[in-house]
């Protein structure tokens, strides 16, 4: 999202990936080395030996919208709670009925979801997820959350007090990955030596915390939560990635 002079999309994500894509549109030169860089992930993610050619990508002004899982939307209709940031009388009557456990209203919401999500309709409690970079090959789907000035990742949505940002991306990408390997990681700002700041080490630990996994993915089975957790590679700084991948000085501007 836009962020002023130090907008991470314009000063980090877009110039970083634009440069790599121009250097090698297939990704063969840089995708494997990039995926080897993140730390503090599950340690169980299996990066395919052969990723195949990059055939789809999105970032910057063309961020890819990943729809929320239908199973999550149905879970929210059945288990809706009033957000602490809202007062009950601020809610639409239909949503108040859901919070009250009105069986007829819940059934109506589920039937409407079966007809297809309705954007901002009363029975839809989560919108699309927008990873800062989306990469897809014949063998892998990769979602990346890029940060610069933020002090940590987003950890909640309007209707879920715990919904960790990376898990949200991976949850949505899980729906479209099919037999391909699912992978995700943070790219964040760090010191000149490329080391990962403590706040992002902690964010990685939170992403893998069993309780937070369950609360972020209540609609998933234990096996699915494990698969999604194992897809998390961790985090790497822009500084380290730029150095290892040989980006020339000046590719990543200090400000817009």
> What residues have CB less than 8 Å from 54, skipping those under 6 apart?
21, 25, 26, 27, 31, 135, 136, 137
- For residues 199 and 84, membership in a common domain is answered with no
Residues 84 and 183 in one domain: no
Instruction: Give a yes or no: residue 196 inside a domain.
Output: yes
Helices within 115-254 (DSSP H only): 165-177, 198-208, 210-216, 222-230, 238-244
165 and 185, same domain (yes or no): yes
pLDDT confidence of residue 44: 77
The answer to whether residues 75 and 161 touch, using CB atoms and an 8 Å cutoff, is no
Q: What is the pLDDT of residue 1?
A: 43
**Claim to verify: residue 184 and residue 92 sit in the same structural domain:** no
Q: Are residues 133 and 217 in the same domain?
A: yes
For residue 148, tell me if it sits in a domain. yes
Q: Which domain holds residue 100?
A: 70-114
9 neighbors 256 (Cβ within 8 angstroms): no
Q: Are 219 and 75 in contact (CB under 8 A)?
A: yes
What pairs with residue 181 in β-bridges?
A: 140
Question: Residue 143: inside a domain, yes or no?
Answer: yes
On whether residue 122 sits in a domain, the answer given is no
Residues 6+ apart with CB under 8 A from 224: 174, 217
One domain, residues 79 and 13: no
pLDDT at 3: 67
Query: Are both 76 and 183 inside the same structural domain?
Result: no
Q: Which residues of the chain have pLDDT under 50?
A: 1-2
State how many domains the chain has: 2
- Cα 247 from Cα 17, distance rounded (Å): 10
Say what the pLDDT of residue 50 is. Answer: 85
pLDDT at 4: 85
Pair 74, 55 in one domain: no
* Residues 167, 230 within the same domain: yes
Among the candidates 59, 91, 114, a domain finishes at 114
In a domain, 124, yes or no: no
Instruction: Please give the distance of CA 86 from its chain centroid, rounded to a whole number.
Output: 25
The per-residue pLDDT for 203 is 97
Quote the CA–CA distance of 119 and 83 in Å, as a whole number: 20
pLDDT, position 48: 82
Q: Does a structural domain hold residue 252? A: no
Distance between CA 27 and CA 13 in Å, rounded? 16
Per-residue burial over 91-109, b = 16 or more CB atoms within 10 Å of its CB, e = otherwise? beeebbbbeeeeeebbebb
Domain-located, residue 120? no
Task: Give the Cα-Cα-Cα angle 176, 181, 185 (nearest 5 degrees).
Answer: 90
Query: For the chain, how many residues are written?
Result: 256
Integer Cα distance of 218 and 225 in angstroms: 9
């Amino acid at each position: 999202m836009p962020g002023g002079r130090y907008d991470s999309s314009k000063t980090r994500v877009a110039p970083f990936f634009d440069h790599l894509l121009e250097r090698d549109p297939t990704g063969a030169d840089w995708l494997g080395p990039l995926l080897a860089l993140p730390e503090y992930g599950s340690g169980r993610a299996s990066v395919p030996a052969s990723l195949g050619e990059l055939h789809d990508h999105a970032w910057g002004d063309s961020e890819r919208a990943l729809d929320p899982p239908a199973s999550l939307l149905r879970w929210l209709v059945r288990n809706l709670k009033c957000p602490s940031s809202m007062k009950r009388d601020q809610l639409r009557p239909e949503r108040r009925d859901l919070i009250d456990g009105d069986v007829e209203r819940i059934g109506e919401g589920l039937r409407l979801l079966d007809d297809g999500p309705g954007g901002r309709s009363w029975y839809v409690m989560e919108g699309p997820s927008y990873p800062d970079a989306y990469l897809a090959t014949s063998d892998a789907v990769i979602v990346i959350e890029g940060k610069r000035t933020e002090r940590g990742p987003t950890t909640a949505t309007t209707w879920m007090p715990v919904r960790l940002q990376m898990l949200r991306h991976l949850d949505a990408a899980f729906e479209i990955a099919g037999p391909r390997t699912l992978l995700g990681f943070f790219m964040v700002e760090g010191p000149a030596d490329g080391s990962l700041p403590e706040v992002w080490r902690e964010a990685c630990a939170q992403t893998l915390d069993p309780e937070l996994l369950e609360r972020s993915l209540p609609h998933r089975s234990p096996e699915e939560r494990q698969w999604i957790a194992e897809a998390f590679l961790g985090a790497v700084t822009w500084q380290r990635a730029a150095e290892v991948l040989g980006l020339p000085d000046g590719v990543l501007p200090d400000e817009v």
